[in-house]
Copies of this chain bind each other. A is one copy, B any other.
Amino acid sequence: MLTMSTLKKSDAEFHHGDLQAALVTAGLRHVEKHGLNSLGLRQLALVTGVSPTAVYRHFEDLEHLKASVAKAAREVLGKMMVDALKSAPANKTEKGAIARFLAIGGAYIDFGIKKSNLCEIAFICFDSPELEPDSPNPSELLIASLTELNEIGCLSDKNFKIAPMIAWSMVHGFAGLAAQGATGSVQETNASKKEVLLSVLKSLDIK
């Protein structure tokens, strides 16, 4: 099962290799460039170089395909957050932990600002499947950062209980508003981004 000497691609190219992933990737690219509403099954099959009905070997439905694209979009968000985490200071101090929280929270917001089309599909999915086990989960990354703040000692146990919902709501809400241009000009948005993140810390008695 799943042998086929990985990536041999078969001379006649009758079999695609990994059509499932190819369709999702193509769908992700399309949404990023042209938005969600124009995402169609046939066009997607055409771009991938395959017949429309081949899609049904991998997805029950167009809705299920969309759900997979939504999953991929959330994985992009997760990657942006870990990238931001890597570029943040690694000091195991209070200041470092705060900087890391600002980094991943900021990355979540940047997802709304810079990848607004992906943001549109990422969360507007009803019955969306779980992320890949090895793929970083956005809300879990937020929780991990808050856990770190708690363990270091600058986030009380009482506040820690409500912290995930507070931080997630705020960051998610601002990202969504920014994605649909409700946060004003670019500089206004960037100013608000900072204030929004700091207000989360303030409401949690941090710093």
| Chain A 159-188 near chain B by CB (<8 Å), digits 1 or 0 | 000100110111111111100101100000
Asked if B180 contacts A126 (CB within 8 A), the reply is yes
Asked if B165 contacts A183 (CB within 8 A), the reply is yes
Asked if B123 contacts A165 (CB within 8 A), the reply is no
Asked if B195 contacts A166 (CB within 8 A), the reply is yes
Interface centre among A162, A166, A171, A173 (most CB of B within 10 A): A173
Residue from B37, B120, B169, B204 within 8 A of A173 (CB atoms): B169
Interface size class of A (residues with CB under 8 A): 20 to 34
Asked if B166 contacts A196 (CB within 8 A), the reply is yes
Asked if A180 contacts B123 (CB within 8 A), the reply is yes
Does A93 make an interface contact (CB < 8 A)? no
Query: How many identical subunits does the complex contain?
Result: 2
Interface residues of A in 32-46 (CB under 8 A from B): 35, 37
Please report the C-alpha to C-alpha distance between residue A195 and residue B168 in the assembled complex, in whole angstroms.
13
Q: Chain B nearest CB: distance from A18 CB in Å?
A: 28
Q: Which residues of B contact A196 (CB under 8 A)?
A: 165-166, 169
Please report the C-alpha to C-alpha distance between residue A176 and residue B123 in the assembled complex, in whole angstroms.
9
Residue from B63, B169, B180, B200 within 8 A of A174 (CB atoms): B169
Q: Which residues of B contact A176 (CB under 8 A)?
A: 123, 172-173, 176
Does A135 make an interface contact (CB < 8 A)? no
Asked if B168 contacts A177 (CB within 8 A), the reply is yes
Q: Chain B nearest CB: distance from A122 CB in Å?
A: 11
Asked if B162 contacts A192 (CB within 8 A), the reply is yes
Asked if B165 contacts A174 (CB within 8 A), the reply is yes
Please report the C-alpha to C-alpha distance between residue A35 and residue B196 in the assembled complex, in whole angstroms.
32
Please report the C-alpha to C-alpha distance between residue A130 and residue B202 in the assembled complex, in whole angstroms.
34
Apart from A165-B174, A166-B199: 12 A-B pairs, beta carbons within 8 A: A35-B126, A124-B124, A162-B192, A162-B199, A166-B170, A169-B174, A171-B173, A173-B175, A176-B176, A199-B204, A202-B202, A203-B203
